[in-house]
Amino acid sequence: MMRSITCTLGAEVKMRAVSWQEHIAAGHTPVRRDFRTCQEACALDAHHRCQKLPPKAGVLSVDISEPFKATPDLQKKKAKYLLVASFTRPARKQDGEEEEIPEVPDDAPEIDDPDAEDEDQVVESEGQPKEDQKENPKDDPQEEIEERREMRIEVTKLCEPLASRSQEDVLRAIINMYMRLRADGHIVTQLHSDRGAEFRSKSLEKWCMSHTILQTYTPGDHPQMNGRPEATVQHLKAAIRRTLHGSRAPFERWPIAARFINEKLRQKQVDKEKKSPPFLGKGFGDLES
């Protein structure tokens, strides 16, 4: 069946049904719901939703940024890439946790508290003193079952400039990150990354096995499962730009800026943040010596 309509230009336009052969010859355009190939091509993968459970502690997730301009780094070397990592660790102070009361030495002087009540005069509703109540095992607070609380997890950000994406350079940078975390008192139990060739080397696999570290990978078609280091890449790149713009330094100084940010993050994460001179300012020192 054919219909004719009048277009805006006044010319007559004829419409007719497109045959299957013409639809295939047109590259399946427009999409037809009654064509199996069109339906299969329009299929979507399952939605990637964040898990509701807290993240696992002791996981070191790593990723490599896109190449930067090759510029001088420390020890007369050049850097072109940036290896970033995010490490999950239990928070030092959990929610609802009370601060520890320091022990009082034996030779400390006694101070009378005027607001303190005399325990001998305190009587419960039943007419029994407090001392008698403590002897009841049912009222012993140590016998009470604590409610289950979720552990709060914090994320530690790390970065390391790389000269190349070679397996040797990546392994050396991961070892440096591991030693830094161990020096701060953290335990790494898992190394997570994508399926890049630099992360699937025999040398890295052998090193993980010798240190009892579980090495895991994301599926090739699911980069969202390594989203934590990808977000860290964007965070560190923005921090590098702010540091360079704030000091009016050229972009060629980005490796030094990355190491400066890395050290500032470490001081903040170990609660030992010190007042340091601004980047490339007075008192900064010659980092390239």
The pLDDT of residue 60: 93
pLDDT at 243 over 80: yes
Hey, CA dihedral for 126, 131, 136, 140, is it positive or negative? positive
How large a percentage of the chain has pLDDT more than 70?
63
Tokens of 237: 């790149």
Asked if residue 265 is part of any domain, the answer here is yes
Residue 112 belongs to some domain of the structure: no
Domain CATH for 200 = 3.30.420.10
pLDDT at 87: 93
Q: Could you give the residue ranges of the DSSP H alpha helices within 108-253? A: 130-134, 167-183, 202-210, 227-247
- What does the pLDDT read at residue 245? 86
Question: Is the predicted pLDDT of residue 261 greater than 80, yes or no?
Answer: yes
Residue 168 domain-assigned (yes or no): yes
pLDDT of the residue at 114: 52
Structural domain contains residue 259? yes
Q: Is 85 left (phi over 0), alpha (psi -120 to 50) or beta?
A: beta
- Count of Cβ atoms closer than 10 Å to residue 180 Cβ: 17
Q: Higher pLDDT residue, 44 or 68? A: 68
Question: What is the pLDDT at residue 288?
Answer: 45
Task: Give the least confident one: 91-95, 112-116, 174-178.
Answer: 112-116
Evaluate whether residue 197 is within a structural domain: yes
Tokens of 10: 């006044």
pLDDT of residue 231: 87
- Burial class of residue 7 (count of CB atoms within 10 Å of its CB; 0-12, 13-18, 19+): exposed
Token code pair at residue 90: 């239990």
pLDDT at residue 44 is higher than 90 = no
- Rounded to an integer, the average pLDDT of 109-133 is 52
> Residue 124 falls within a domain, yes or no?
no
Question: How many structural domains are present in the chain?
Answer: 1
| Assigned domain for 288 exists | no
Mean pLDDT, to the nearest integer, of 130-153? Answer: 57
Kindly indicate the confidence band of residue 286, based on its pLDDT and cuts at 50, 70 and 90.
very low
Owning domain of residue 157: 59-92+150-269
Helix spans in the chain (H): 20-25, 36-41, 130-134, 167-183, 202-210, 227-247, 254-269
Give, for 190, the enclosing helix (H) or strand (E).
strand 190-193
Mean pLDDT value of segment 139-166: 75
Provide, rounded to the nearest whole percent, the portion of the chain with pLDDT above 90: 27
Calpha distance 115→109 (Å, rounded): 18
pLDDT at 215 over 90: yes
- In tens, the pLDDT along 87-113 reads 998 887 765 555 555 566 666 666 665
Q: Which residue has the higher pLDDT, 216 or 126?
A: 216
Lookup: tokens for 158: 């790390």
How many CB atoms are closer than 10 A to CB 280? 18
pLDDT of residue 131: 52
Residue 120 lies in a domain: no
Torsion, Cα 271 274 280 286, to 10 degrees, reads -100
The span from the CA of 178 to the CA of 188, in Å, is 7
| pLDDT tier, 64 (very low <50, low <70, confident <90, very high otherwise) | very high
Burial 110-137 (b: 16+ CB within 10 A, else e): eeeeeeeeeeeeeeeeeeeeeeeeeeee
